[in-house]
Structure 1
Amino acid sequence: MKAIYINPFLKSASYVFEQFQLPCQVGKPSFTTSPFSGLEVLTVVGITGDIRGQMYFGGAVSSFLQIVSSMMGGAPVTALGALEQSAISELANMICGNAMSFFSQEGISLDITPPTLIVGNQIEISAVKMSVLSIPIILDKNHLLEMNIVFED
């Protein structure tokens, strides 16, 4: 997978989390095998256009409760109700949308699908015939998220 395909997602994730005063550390991207784990909360956004694939953004419920709290100006968030789930979907939408803007600056025309949110235990994702690039994202040194970028081979 070319760096031109990775960098827009790295820049976008950092930018979006900064908007909510959530400094993050983006870990070293690495290729992973399929199937891979989605942890407890997973958003899926399809990517279409010059390149086809998906972005999977997952983490523990506790991590997403912290993120949603920050998105809501610090209001306490204790459960993943409809409003909180909508915020998580919007977060994935913002990360992918910003990444698409970075791609367009490189002359790559892409679009995204509306996010799908999946909540459960031991979620397993299979990306058949696709390269899976896993990018760890650490918030506040306590919350680990995983962004998986999957492009068609």
Structure 2
Amino acid sequence: MSTKPMKVVLVDDDEDDRMFFADALQEIELETDLQEFHNGQELLNFLNDSDLDHPQLIFLDLNMPVMNGFECLKKIRTNPKLKDLVVAIYSTSSSERDIEETFVNGANIYINKPNKFEELKKTIAQVVKRNWQYEENEMDKTNFLFRI
């Protein structure tokens, strides 16, 4: 049994969405350590300045001030130290263009923010419990958009 909690990061400028997410994460049967950031620049500052272990999973919103999720994802994927991090896009957008752009730029999965708490909990549980180290390197577009 693992004694270390899974390190999860949520990057979202909306306080209500962060609270909703944290509550749902707390209710799943997996010990996690959640860190929250308000925009992509805060996340990158943390990842670049930190001597700590990187998170196992990053939930990244797209529409944020300072640095949005698109820019942040590109910077993560072009940084040799960060390029292998697991990034789940977590957005209210269901735009085909946004989905395509994040897929092309290397996100691991795309999640539309659920409106209902039980759906959110179920979604987070499935994404967090996925064994990302065994996922194939070549992304399959049919599995990229996560739906409950």
Scaled to the shorter chain, the TM-score interval is under 0.3
- Where is the strand percentage greater, Structure 1 or Structure 2? 1
Which protein, 1 or 2, shows the higher relative CO under an 8 Å CA cutoff with sep ≥ 6? 1
Provide TM-score, normalisation by structure 2.
0.27
Structure ranking higher in helix proportion:
2
